[in-house]
């Protein structure tokens, strides 16, 4: 059977990172808070106000759960398909990371665990940032 590279490799096969995030319930709270933050932030509001936010949250929960060893499968679009038409700039990406950090802080995710998730997302930067000033 042919197998292609997993775009989101599992970084915590024993699920310890998933536990540090509070499992499924923790991820639901974090992605809910993330979306509230993204709408409240004038830098990201316009991207998300008209988007299918429940679909994005479901996808984020699947991706985060998968990389953290929670045993989920991501069923959404790949990152290029999802973002290439949006003109996302470097500073938009930074703003989203800040909203995610606020949501993780609020939900008491340990700093080291936060950074492990952020590091797992970083390689996708190049598929997501296509707007002016991209690195």
Kindly tell me which residue out of 30, 35, 66, 83 binds ligand HEM, with binding defined by CB under 6 A: 83
Is 60 a binder of ligand HEM (CB under 6 A)? yes
Is 96 a binder of ligand HEM (CB under 6 A)? yes
Task: Please check if 83 is assigned to a binding site.
Answer: yes
Question: What is the distance between the alpha carbons of residues 125 and 25, in angstroms, rounded to a whole number?
Answer: 27
Alpha carbon of residue 21 to chain centroid: 13
Is 18 a binder of ligand HEM (CB under 6 A)? no
CB of 51 to ligand HEM, least distance (A): 4
Residues present in the chain in total = 135
CB of 17 to ligand HEM, least distance (A): 16
Is 65 a binder of ligand HEM (CB under 6 A)? no
Residue 75 neighbours by CB under 8 Å, 6+ apart: 59, 62
CB of 47 to ligand HEM, least distance (A): 4
Torsion angle (degrees, nearest 10) of CA 44, 111, 20, 120: 60
Is 44 a binder of ligand HEM (CB under 6 A)? yes
Which residues are documented as binding site for heme? 83
Binding residues vs ligand HEM (CB under 6 A): 44, 47-48, 51-52, 55-56, 59-60, 63, 76-77, 82-83, 86, 88, 92-93, 96, 121, 124, 128
């Amino acid at each position: 059977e042919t197998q292609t590279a997993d775009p989101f490799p599992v970084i915590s096969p024993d699920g310890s990172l998933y536990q540090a995030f509070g499992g499924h319930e923790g991820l639901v709270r974090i992605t809910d808070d993330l979306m509230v933050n993204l709408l409240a932030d004038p830098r990201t509001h316009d991207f998300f106000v008209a988007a299918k936010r429940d679909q994005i949250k479901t996808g984020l929960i699947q991706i985060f759960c998968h990389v953290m060893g929670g045993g989920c499968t991501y069923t959404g679009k790949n990152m290029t398909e999802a973002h290439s038409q949006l003109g996302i700039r470097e500073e938009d990406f930074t703003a989203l990371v800040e909203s995610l950090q606020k949501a993780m802080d609020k939900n008491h995710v340990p700093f080291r665990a936060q950074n492990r998730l952020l590091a797992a997302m970083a390689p996708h930067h190049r598929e997501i940032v296509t707007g002016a000033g991209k690195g």
